[in-house]
Amino acid sequence: MSGHPAVAPVPVGPVVDVDEESFGTRVIDESHRRLVVVDFWAAWCAPCVALTPTLEDLAAAYGGRFLLAKVEVDDNMRLAGRYKLRGFPTVILFRDGRQVDHFVGNKPRHHVRELLEAHI
């Protein structure tokens, strides 16, 4: 034991689940260190389920150069409302504490990669 106070863990892996309570730390704070890609999704949403492998594969391929934060919208309606989401999936990119880009719907891998490259 080091005697230091406990500090909230910083996400180190490429994919984390985020809720309203952890959004400030895991998305906004982390976006000051690296790009954070927030996937607002729902289990009942076929395009959301179809996009998941693309996002998770890219998160692994980029080796931590960005964090993929998954937000299940049914459990986090206030977050969806805060960003005025109208369709799912909605993917929002955060850098330096602010939204820098987004897309709605299932997009092909090359489209997602181009978007990432523009912000990494």
Quick: pLDDT tens for 1-18.
444 444 444 455 689 999
Domain chopping of the chain, boundaries: 15-119
- Phi–psi pair at 72, nearest 5 degrees: -80, 115
Q: Which residue is catalytic, options 38, 48, 67, 80?
A: 48
> What is the per-residue pLDDT for 12?
53
Q: 15-119: CATH homologous superfamily?
A: Glutaredoxin (3.40.30.10)
Whether residue 89 is preceded by a cis peptide bond, meaning omega within 30 degrees of 0, is: yes
On average, the pLDDT of the chain sits at 91
Confirm whether 52 is a catalytic residue: no
Q: Which residue is catalytic, options 15, 28, 42, 45?
A: 45
pLDDT digits (tens, 9 = 90+) for 102-112: 999 999 999 99
> Rounded to an integer, what distance in angstroms lies between the CA atom of residue 77 and that of residue 116?
26
Taking a C-beta distance cutoff of 8 angstroms, is the pair 68, 109 a contact? no
Confirm whether 9 is a catalytic residue: no
User: Burial of 101 by CB count in 10 Å (0-12 exposed, 13-18 middle, 19+ buried)?
Assistant: middle
pTM (2 d.p.): 0.89
